[in-house]
Structures are given as structure tokens and as C-alpha cells.
Amino acid sequence: MALHLKGVFLPGAEPVDMWIDGGVLHDEPVAGAETLATDCWVLPGLVDAHCHLGLGPEGAISQERTRAQALQDLAAGTMLVRDAGSPSDTRWVQDDAALPLLVRAGRHIARPKRYIRNLAAEVEPDQLVEQVRHEARSGDGWVKLVGDWIDRKAGDLTALWPKEIAAQAIAAAHEEGARVTAHCFAEESVHELVAAGIDCIEHGTGLSDEGISMMAERGTALVPTMINLDKFPFYAGPAEEKFPRYFTHMMDLYARREQTIGAAIDAGIDIYTGTDAGTVVEHGRVRDEIDRIAAIAGAEYALGAASWRARAWLGADVLTPGAGADLIVLDADPRVDLTTLRRPRALVLRGRVIA
């Protein structure tokens, strides 16, 4: 069924008429179109740029549970997921028109006994380049490294990869046509990986002013996952007695997380929303992440980080003629009232009204 909308198509400012036919947006009338809404605001479908479909606390999960995760994300308005590492082969999700669009990164890459069990492809540094090439070829243009994790011998977070080998691995991914991102909580790993030419950082709590400047100069993106950073006391608490250095370090990173991410935003680093859903964080919380970024940088910035800017970063359509019709219809301007995201008039995926 063809549809008609009249409203402000964000990030635009003036109302326009648009039609949906064949799953595509048109700026010319379509005969027989049914008017879905007028006097509305239309937002490109939301992006969760750090999400783990097919992953549970125990590792890989069934297709049934993966579908439930994807539908939970979709119900919150997420229509594009950049999967940031999964032990499941989720390519089947891309063939299901009822689920969000999915950009896959293959499996996390970590060192043995230096990450959560059953999640990552575990290799030693001399195998990293080969594994990166493998993941680049099996994913959709992204590779995910674990940049740091607790080292029980050191009793604290330490970097997993020698910086020279990390640089070789990143260069190999680029040769394969893939971008690289990395989980980084602490200081050493994030600065070494940015210097090595990485394309994106996840979390980034250890960034210094110098590191932020380097990211801004190099165009390195940041997905802070604020609702995950809020859980640092939960992660660190059980280790307080056995690994006091780790506990103190994590709590220090936690205490300055908003200051760090705010400085990154002020420096002009490209920031995108990600929830880190899949293990501790529930799926469907992208609106909570938008709220957290908005508290630091304002509603319009947060909406761009979750929608039109994030979609462009991942090579997806925004709301222009000829684009795919993945959008959210709202009764009020979310740049003024973010709560309107939680009561959409309609969700439209691939031109079909789903809610």
C-alpha cells in the first residue's frame, strides 16, 4: 500500500509532502496513496551502533532468541544495527525483511583468557593479522578488536596487543576493505590504537585531552555506550578485594566518564549511539542511550548521533527521495521534547507500517 506523509523530515526544518511506494520515498504524488499522518515530525530509523545480536551471557544463542533480540530493538525504533561482535552467524537476519538492517562485524578478536569466555575468536599476537583478515572477509566491512581487559597477573586493565602488531592488523583490515573498531576502557590501549590508525573506538573512557585531539584530527569515531559505562561499579565491585588496582582504576574511569565524553564531543569527534546490548545490557534501550548523550550535548546532537549522522556513517539511507522508507513518525518535535520518541505515532520499516 502506498502511503503519504506531510511533516518535517528531520534534520530538515520545514514541512514537506512525501510518499512511500515500493518501500521507497518519493517527492512526487503517488496515485491512491493513503495519508498516514500530517502535522508530524519524521525521523530516520534509529541506529544502535554497538549492539550484539546472536549473543547472550553464555555466548552464541539460537535463532529464535536472536530474532527476539532484534524485535526488541525494533520496537524501540532501532532500524539499523551495527553488530559489534557476535559468535553467532547472523547473516540470516539480513534476509528477513521484518527485522532491522544489520551490518555485521564477525566475532570479537581477543587473546586467550583475556576476555569473556565463549565470545571471541582467541588468538595470540602473532596470529592477529591473519584473524583480522578472516573477520574482515566474513563480516560487512567491520572488524572488532578487544583492546584491553583485566590482566590478572598485573591486577589491572592492560592492552592486549603490541602496538606494532595492532598497526599491522589495522592496515590488513583496510586492505580488505574493512574498518576496525575496538573495545577500550583504559588509557594505554585507546591511545595506541588511535595512533595505529583505527577507525572507531568503543567506550573510550581512558581518553586524555591529547588522545581526544588525535582522534579529532584523524577522524576517528567514538561510540561511548553511556548506559554501559554507567554499569562500571557493577563490573568492578566484585573485584574490589582481589584486584584493588583494577577496582580503583575502573571507578576512576567511571567518575570522569561524562567529562571525558563531553570533551570528545566539544572537540568535534564524531559520536554515535550504541547500547552494548547482548550480555548485561538489555536490547531495546537505544532511547535510554539517546537520553544520556542528550544530557551531555543536547537533544538535537543526540538525535543526529542516533539517526541521520549515524546512518550516513554506516552508508545507510536518510530521508531523501529514492531512499528506503525506514522512519519513525512523531506527534512532536523530538529536538524539543525527547519523550516523544517513546510514544511514536508509527514505525515504518522498508515502507511497511509495523506499529
Question: What is the average pLDDT score of the chain?
Answer: 97
Please provide the CATH number assigned to the domain covering 3-43+317-353: 2.30.40.10
Query: Does 3-43+317-353 match 46-313 in CATH topology?
Result: no
Q: Do 227 and 254 meet the contact criterion of CB atoms below 8 Å apart?
A: no
Q: How many other C-beta atoms can be found within 10 angstroms of the C-beta atom of residue 345?
A: 17
Q: In the structure grid, which three cell numbers stand for residue 60, read together?
A: 552464541
Rounded to whole angstroms, the Cα distance separating 224 from 263 reads 12
pTM summary value: 0.97
* Domain spans in the chain, listed from the N-terminal domain onward: 3-43+317-353, 46-313
pLDDT for the residue numbered 30: 97
Does domain 46-313 match CATH 3.20.20.140? yes
Confidence of residue 355 (pLDDT cuts 50, 70, 90): confident
Q: Do 5 and 18 meet the contact criterion of CB atoms below 8 Å apart?
A: yes
**Per-residue pLDDT tens digits for 18-41:** 999 999 999 999 999 999 999 999
Q: Give the Cα-Cα-Cα angle 328, 332, 334 (nearest 5 degrees).
A: 70
Sign of torsion over alpha carbons 150, 154, 157, 161: negative
| Rounded alpha-carbon distances, angstroms, from residue 115 to 148, 294, 301 | 9, 31, 33
pLDDT for the residue numbered 269: 98
pLDDT for the residue numbered 62: 97
Sign of torsion over alpha carbons 121, 124, 127, 130: positive
**Per-residue pLDDT tens digits for 73-99:** 999 999 999 999 999 999 999 999 999
Q: In the structure grid, which three cell numbers stand for residue 284, read together?
A: 531495546
DSSP classification of residue 57: T
**Per-residue pLDDT tens digits for 321-346:** 999 999 999 999 999 999 999 999 99
Gyration radius from the chain CA atoms? 20
**Per-residue pLDDT tens digits for 163-177:** 999 999 999 999 999
- Whose CA is closest to 178, among 159, 203, 200? 200
Q: How far is CA 340 from the centre of its chain?
A: 22
For 85, the 3-state DSSP assignment is coil
**Per-residue pLDDT tens digits for 197-241:** 999 999 999 999 999 999 999 999 999 999 999 999 999 999 999
* pLDDT of 54 above 80: yes
Confidence of residue 181 (pLDDT cuts 50, 70, 90): very high
Rounded to whole angstroms, the Cα distance separating 278 from 183 reads 15
Sign of torsion over alpha carbons 180, 308, 19, 322: negative
Q: Is 13 exposed, middle or buried (0-12, 13-18, 19+ CB in 10 A)?
A: exposed
Which DSSP string do the residues of 195-260 spell out, in sequence order? HTT-SEEEE-TT--HHHHHHHHHHT-EEE--HHHHTTHHHHHGGGTTT-HHHHHHHHHHHHTHHHH
With a pLDDT cut of 90, the percent of the chain lying above it is: 98
* pLDDT of 304 above 80: yes
For 183, the 3-state DSSP assignment is strand
pLDDT for the residue numbered 106: 87
Size of the chain in residues: 355
**Per-residue pLDDT tens digits for 99-120:** 999 999 989 999 999 999 999 9
